[in-house]
Amino acid sequence: MLDNLPRGTICIEDIEMGMVRYLRKTVTDEDIEKFAQVSTDRNPVHLDEEYAQETMFQGRIAHGMLTAGLVSAVIGEQLPGHGTIYMSQSLKFLGPVRPGDLVLAEVEVTGIEIDKRRVKLDCRCIVDDKKVLVGEAVVMAPSRKFD
């Protein structure tokens, strides 16, 4: 048995169909600037209000992958949690996230393969009751047993 699993980690043996975990985060100008710095994606639609006003978005938007990172945070911190290994992720961006938007990032268990420690998760981000991102992740969950 592994006795050192972090609090909040859900092992494959305890994951159930339909389990849901989420976080809420308000995306800030600072978040967008830091993401641009780390990713090196300095597209002016994210950073330059004057430029962004002339686009189809009519204002600055957060990087799509910043929004997707909130899904990653739910997976890595809550479901399954620490020790989880990403295997795949599909994403579809349905709408923009703007500075100041409160994003609800949720994951829901839709499949479990205990023998392979794999979990399939429906992923979504919502702003003002509208889905702005949907997708599916497959992850390898931690286990209480040694491999």
Question: pLDDT class for 6, splitting at 50, 70, 90?
Answer: low
Instruction: Provide the pLDDT for residue 100.
Output: 98
The percentage of residues in the chain with a pLDDT greater than 70, rounded to a whole number, is 94
| Selection from 110, 8, 143, 133 nearest residue 61 by Cα | 133
- Mean pLDDT over residues 27-41, rounded? 98
- Mean pLDDT over residues 87-106, rounded? 98
Annotated domain spans of the chain: 12-140
- Mean pLDDT over residues 59-70, rounded? 98
* 111-141 pLDDT tens trace: 999 999 999 999 999 999 999 999 999 999 9
Cα maximum dimension of the chain: 58
Angle of helix 64-77 versus helix 29-39 axis, rounded to 10: 90
Distance of CA 48 to the CA centre of its chain: 25
Instruction: Provide the pLDDT for residue 128.
Output: 98
Domain formed by 12-140, architecture: Roll (3.10)
Instruction: Provide the pLDDT for residue 145.
Output: 82
Instruction: Provide the pLDDT for residue 147.
Output: 46
